[in-house]
Amino acid sequence: MGTVCVVGSINMDHMIGMQRLPVPGETLLGRTMGKFPGGKGFNQAVAAHRSGAAVRFFGRVGNDSEGALLREAFDQIGLEDRFLQVDPDSPTGAAQVLSLPGSENAIIVVPGANAALDVQALPEALLGADVLMVQMEVGHDTASAALALGKDAGVTTILNAAPSGSVTTATLALADIVVVNETEAAELGGVEALLQSGPDAVVLTLGARGAEWHVHGAEPIRVPAFRITPRDTTGAGDAFCGALAAALSAKISCGDALVRAAAAGAIVAMATGAQTETLCPRNLDRMIARGNDIIESVQ
């Protein structure tokens, strides 16, 4: 595998298992609770690392207890925190994840220190990198600046256009590859409109129906989803993105990279939390080898 630089959000995720969402004025009792490292950027960095790539994460936490716990997580996971900034004023970003039956979830994110991420030192993190992965949780200006620096450095730039509300055509033009789900694609005008904005390729994730790789003037490459019993879909999309970046950093073909990314998303969906240790190169190979079998576990 090659080297992936991820610029993105890092949060502490507070998860509550619920039977359903409360309506205004209603108090409900949760079934379970937990606290996990998260944020789209950090989830993707961990997934790329566990998929076999060398990873540099570029993000920002607060100078608080949650930030300290996240810095400890870098050591536990095996990632270096050289490019992790500590904000003296803003709190560490946080997400409240309400996990619902049927593996669905509802999420509220408070950006905190993520909103103050400074990309001035990013060129150093990009030295020798093959791929830059960026998402929109760090804000439009920061994401755009990071992609522009990636272009200047000559690395492959990937934009996970989520959340899609602040994405502009100028931002899309800075990405070699744009990754979106169906909702995000619709909000941005559809796959053809995305391709017209400038990226070389658009990767469309379709949940239980797999994923597609779209380019100008050719039929899309389609890969089916793996047949699994999902337990928690939190972070499955992030795992897909991280594994995709890792595969592309190793110059794996588009189709094979999609398969590997889909396998990573499936492995994470079968576990609890966005950063399961069951995601690893060996289990990716096992998942791919089992093809269209119904898979309950990769362990």
Question: Tokens 């949940």 map to which residue?
Answer: 207
Asked if residue 12 belongs to a domain, the reply is: no
User: What pLDDT is recorded for position 299?
Assistant: 56
pLDDT of residue 143: 97
Decide if 299 is inside a domain. no
Whether 188 is covered by a domain: the verdict is: yes
Q: Residue 187's pLDDT is what? A: 96
Give residue-wise pLDDT tens across range 94-147: 999 898 887 677 888 899 999 999 999 999 999 999 999 999 999 999 999 999
| pLDDT tens figures, 196-215 | 999 999 999 998 899 999 99
27 in a structural domain: no
105 is in an annotated binding site: no
Residue 185 and residue 191 in contact, taking contact as beta carbons nearer than 8 Å: yes
Check the annotation: does 290 bind a ligand: no
Q: Is residue 176 annotated as involved in ligand binding?
A: no
Range of the structural domain that residue 171 is part of: 41-57+115-294
Please tell me the predicted confidence (pLDDT) of residue 295. Answer: 56
pLDDT at 297: 57
pTM beyond 0.85, yes or no: yes
Residue 283 lies in a domain: yes
- Tell me if 129 is assigned to a ligand binding site: no
242 in a known ligand binding site:
no
- Residue 21 within a domain: no
DSSP single-letter state for residue 86: E
Query: How is residue 9 written in tokens?
Result: 């959000």
Residue 207 annotated as lining a ligand binding site: yes
Of these residues, 87, 238, 285, 293, which one is catalytic? 238
pLDDT at residue 103 in the model: 65
In a domain, 192, yes or no: yes
Q: Which residues of the chain have pLDDT under 50?
A: none
Residues near 12 by beta carbon (within 8 Å), at least 6 away in sequence: 35, 36, 37, 38, 66, 69, 70, 92, 93, 94, 95
- Give catalytic status of residue 238 as yes or no: yes
CATH of the domain at 242: 3.40.1190.20
Q: Is 41 annotated as a binding residue?
A: yes
Closest CA to 110 of 137, 136, 87, 74: 137
Distance CA 92, CA 110 (A): 9
Provide CB contacts within 8 A for 248, sequence distance 6+. 130, 131, 156, 158, 177, 257
The reply to whether 103 falls in a domain is no
Q: What is the C-alpha to C-alpha distance for residues 241 and 261, in angstroms, rounded to an integer? A: 7
Instruction: Pick the closest to residue 11 from 109, 151, 142 (CA basis).
Output: 109
pLDDT number for residue 79? 95
Domain count, the chain: 1
Q: Is 27 annotated as a binding residue?
A: no
Res 105: pLDDT: 77
43 is in an annotated binding site: yes
User: Which pLDDT score is estimated for 99?
Assistant: 84
Please tell me the predicted confidence (pLDDT) of residue 276: 82
